[in-house]
Amino acid sequence: MVENDLFKQINDAVLDLQSSQLQSFSRPLKRLAQLLQHSDLTSTNDVLTRDVSLDGFLKESEKTQGSMVGSAQLLWPDSQEHVMGLTLLLIQKFAANPDDMVQFGFTYFYTNNHIISAIHNVTGQLIIPFIRDYKAYILARGNTKAKIVMPLSTKIFIVHGHDEGARESVARFLQTLGFEPIILHEQANRGRTVIEKVEANSDVSFAVVLLTPDDEGCTKGGALEPRARQNVLLELGYFLGRLGRERVCALKRGDVEIPSDFAGVVWEALDAGGAWKRRLGQELQAIGHVIDWNKVMA
């Protein structure tokens, strides 16, 4: 797996190249080419460059040159992978002979007679977009198919019983992190039944279920044991089905009987020391939320 530190070094090299002068541009250029040859990138680079010919691409593009300097156009292929492969080969070509980058800039990105302007134009219009797409390609593991990614809702549903202290502690903690805690009795009834209110307010990204010893129950003839309220168990099952187990965190206070169908699923202790905050923060981060850990540990 490619570490983010490698991408940071690549970005730093590009920034240095963009701000360089004629006497210094070759150093960040060669550094960039070296970083792009990192062993972690070898398999990706092989995929991107295996079906492209840089010589053929440049030869055909040069044919578009008109009478004006810089009027030539690059004849990019339709495939985004092929575009990245050709750009990757261009960077290696420039690093091997920096004068090639100057000539390339005058041919395809000419704006004035300043050599460094040609270098900066190539960097800004070709290399920087390539690095952006290249990083996205690697992080997506080669999947270039566009898709719509909906932002995560900041609404978090709190399932609770009679323990108002536990409910308020969790709600205020979530608010501190920038989330909107959804507490059912605080929502308008609008003539609906309880389950209809749950359904109407289930447009959340996560649910926190508070298993507190509010009731007692047992098998027939057995000894009474502390249990969570029946509405809590019903809503626990509802959100497990609606959101999936990875988006439901159960916080248990005291000695509470765990439902048999829920046995084996990890729950967190709602401890007085507040360790549950770190665990809840980790669960929220795991599904894609950005967590300010300074606020968690405050």
pLDDT for residue 25: 95
The domain 155-297: what is its CATH number? Answer: 3.40.50.10140
Q: How confident is the model at residue 171 (pLDDT cuts 50, 70, 90)?
A: very high
pLDDT for residue 45: 95
Report whether pLDDT(9) > 70.
yes
Contacts with 224 (C-beta within 8 Å, 6 or more apart), sequence order:
216, 217, 218
Residues 266-297 have pLDDT tens digits of 678 898 888 899 999 999 998 889 898 888 87
State which amino acid sits at residue 171: A
Cite the residue boundaries of each domain of the chain with CATH code 3.40.50.10140: 155-297
Residues 198-220 have pLDDT tens digits of 999 999 999 999 999 988 887 78
pTM: 0.52
Q: How confident is the model at residue 59 (pLDDT cuts 50, 70, 90)?
A: very high
